[in-house]
Amino acid sequence: MALMQAAQAPDLARVRIPAHRRLLGPVILFAVVVLFYWKLVLTNQYTWLEGPDAAYLDLPWLQFQAGEWHRGRFPLWDPNGWFGQPLIGQGQPGAAYPPNWLLFLIPLKHGWIRQGALHWYFVLTRYFAALACYALARDLGRSRTASLLAACVYGLGGYVANTIAPQMVNGAVWTPLVFLYLFRAERGQRPLASSMLSGFFLGFGWLAGHHQMNLFVSIAAAGLWIWLILREGKPNLQLMRLGAASAVIAVLASAFQTIPLAEYGRRSLRWAGTPEPLAFDQILPYSIHEQYSLHPISILGIAIPNIEYRFGLYVGIFALGLGILGVILAWRERQVRWLASIALGGLFFSLGPNSLFHGIFYALVPIVEKARVPAAATLLFATGLAPLAAYGADLLPRPESDRWARRFGWALVASAAIIAIMSLVLFAAKVSTATDDRLMVPAIAAVLGAAVLAGWRGGGLSAQAGGICALTLALFELGNGSSYFLPSRAVPEQNPYLHRLAEHGDIIAYIRNRGLPGRIEYDDNDIPYNIGDWYGVETFASYTASVTANVWGADTFSHKDFYGIRYYLGKQPQRPDQKELFTGRSGLKVFENPTAMPRVWSTAEAAGCDPANDDVQLPVHQPNFVRIMAEMKCPGTVVLTDTWFPGWRATVDRKPAPILEIPGGVRGVRVTAGSHTIEMRYRPLSVFLGAGLSILAAVLTLLSLKLGI
């Protein structure tokens, strides 16, 4: 009974505390996170951008969007690859995610997004993820110090810290808040408002861009709601209404991203590891999921650095032990059981083919087969483990926990001995590929952890002092994980990617100075990054995850002249008739295709009319707006070789006109003889409807808070 009463600590989030004391935890946490990532924001020697996807895909996307915001345009359409694609519809660029807009509005340096700003963006993302977990732990009645420990475990370890791609980690910022307010709704604290807040943060996470992590969180939240509704053997109507309200708000809040994503998904193909890109109605083979699942051996990587295979779980042996003890010591508290279920469920699901559960979800639950990375469910493991570690840190020092504290201490000593012996054996055998010298870190941490426990039990350390020692020890272990391998600019072999983005500026400048518009094709062995978005030039194929089906189905590789591909960048010409124009500092050359068609041209409808006599010009070509001036001798069709896609609207001499889909997947507008001004604007209903629904979700949620229901 005493242990149960100890576990059911007062809900500190509902006690009136002076503002300066409430802010103390977040301020301390901010300092901790900044110091943890000192390599990124306190020096200029390291970067997180030195990776193939970060440098070649994510950074160009961010650069393009920042440029558009600074030109006073919201980036709806990306014209720089595959003849143009919807930007929000692709999801991964994160164009619908409001926190990204703050990054894009930061002053540019000579037109380029600042690397320092990107480093702070990386660090602040982890800070706000940690802050959300801190709020969850405090709401569960945990002490400030224990809540800080939970925040660090979540934000500086596991999925959040080890996932680089912004579109895959930004949604994780809001995951703890989904369950914070779900727990509040269940215990009757402003139940309707809490339910709606839970749903709002779930939907808001979808705006970050990528679907897979958000899908897994949605499944976990839905599963918990179903359990709560049915746990008494018959449906609880009140909880059913609350769950329905939460689901509706989640759907509405996510609409700014999910509606354009659904529109684009049905009209596109994506590369997902198969030899050919797949359409939305094609099932992603399970063999692809197997490749991106967590290997069972990687579970050791929760406590031992560098055991992970492909995906990082590492939080350290001490934090893991505290989480396990948190479950044991507070098992009678229902939220603890739910957190344990979330953690174990996420871990089992992430094992993919080694877990029966994932296969069942793959076969039966819609959209799960689209989420090709089961290992992303390790986010749920971190979401459950982090607050459980806070329970362990709070309850272990108490007298009624002495027996478990003693057992934990001996377990740590035994673990230290085993790991030390293993490290010595591997070192003697020179098995460098199995691990590295960080194997001794958990052994050191285990010994220090046992010493902290001894101090707690013997009275040499107060509960607060012991908590601070536990937090420090957790940070010591976490520091040997995510931030350990940040590439150093002083080591050339650690920097194979970013420098390539600066190699071709002279080539792009030469093409622009020629004043002859045309698309660019390039050898992707020499230019592996998305040069179109990076430099703001229109290219043919680009480094992206998907392409519209109408363009791909037009056999574009056999009809390149049709699409106005005037220039080719490579070391050698692609075909005999190409004319060499320029050689850049990188050694790449610019070749001109003499038979490339103009970017805009006309066709005649009547016999005897020669479209060569028409004068068609393209004076304005912006991402979301195009203006064409056409002097037509006969009625005909003006063709713009940009991708046809719903949402583009045309006017001819300021009067609405339909946009035709011309063979080849491009746009055309019929006009009469004479002089005409043709304008096309991208005004997608999917985006505006989605934005309206997301705003509606925010208004309804704020209204419920104001009404206090």
pLDDT by residue (tens digit) across 631-641? Answer: 999 999 999 99
98: in domain: no
Cβ(502)–Cβ(550) below 8 Å: no
The strand ranges marked E within 549-700 are 565-570, 579-583, 589-592, 600-604, 615-621, 625-632, 636-643, 648-652, 655-657, 660-662, 666-671, 674-682
Is residue 412 assigned to a domain?
no
Is the full-model pTM beyond 0.85? yes
Q: Phi and psi for 13 in degrees, rounded to 5? A: -70, -20
Q: Are 472 and 149 in contact (CB under 8 A)?
A: no
Looking at the structure, tell me whether residues 586 and 637 fall in a common domain.
no
For residue 522, give the H/E element and its range.
Answer: strand 519-522
Q: φ, ψ for residue 493 (rounded to 5)?
A: -70, -15
The reply to whether 246 and 194 lie within a common domain is: yes
Residues 292 and 329 in one domain: yes
Average pLDDT for consecutive 10-residue bins of the chain (709 residues)? 35 56 90 95 92 91 95 95 94 94 94 94 96 96 95 95 91 96 94 96 94 93 94 90 96 96 94 88 90 89 78 88 94 94 94 90 89 92 96 88 85 87 75 65 89 82 85 92 85 88 92 89 92 93 89 86 92 92 93 92 86 91 95 93 96 95 94 95 96 96 88
Is residue 83 included in any domain, yes or no? no
Q: Is 220 in contact with 365 (CB distance < 8 Å)?
A: no
pLDDT at position 140 = 96
166, 123: one domain: yes
CATH number at residue 609: 2.60.40
- Write out pLDDT tens, residues 21-66: 788 989 999 999 999 999 999 999 999 999 888 999 999 999 999 9
434 falls within a domain: no
- For residues 269 and 210, state if they share a domain: yes
706 within some domain: no
In this prediction, residue 433 carries a pLDDT of 46
147 and 266 part of one domain: yes
End-to-end CA distance of the chain: 34
pLDDT at position 651, please? 96
196 contact partners, CB below 8 Å, separation of at least 6? 245, 246, 249, 700, 701, 704
Q: What's the CA gap between 498 and 156, in Å, rounded?
A: 25
Range of the domain at 548: 512-592
- How high is the pLDDT of residue 3? 30
Are residues 572 and 605 both part of a single domain? Answer: no
The HSE-up count of residue 289 (CA atoms within 13 Å, CB side) is 25
Instruction: Out of 592, 615, 644, pick the residue that ends a domain.
Output: 592
Please indicate, yes or no, if residue 424 is contained in any of the structural domains. no
Q: Does residue 188 sit within a domain?
A: yes
The reply to whether 133 and 239 lie within a common domain is yes
Pairing of strands 565-570, 519-522: parallel
Do 679 and 604 share a structural domain? yes
When divided into structural domains, the chain yields a total of 3
Q: For residues 138 and 227, state if they share a domain.
A: yes
Give the pLDDT of residue 72.
94
Q: Are residues 683 and 550 both part of a single domain?
A: no
- End residue of a domain, out of 537, 561, 592: 592
Does 552 reside within a domain? yes
Chosen domain end from 570, 592, 614: 592
Cα dihedral sign for 366, 367, 370, 374? negative
Same domain, yes or no: 552 and 676: no
Angle between helix 115-139 and helix 144-155 axes, rounded to 10 deg: 130
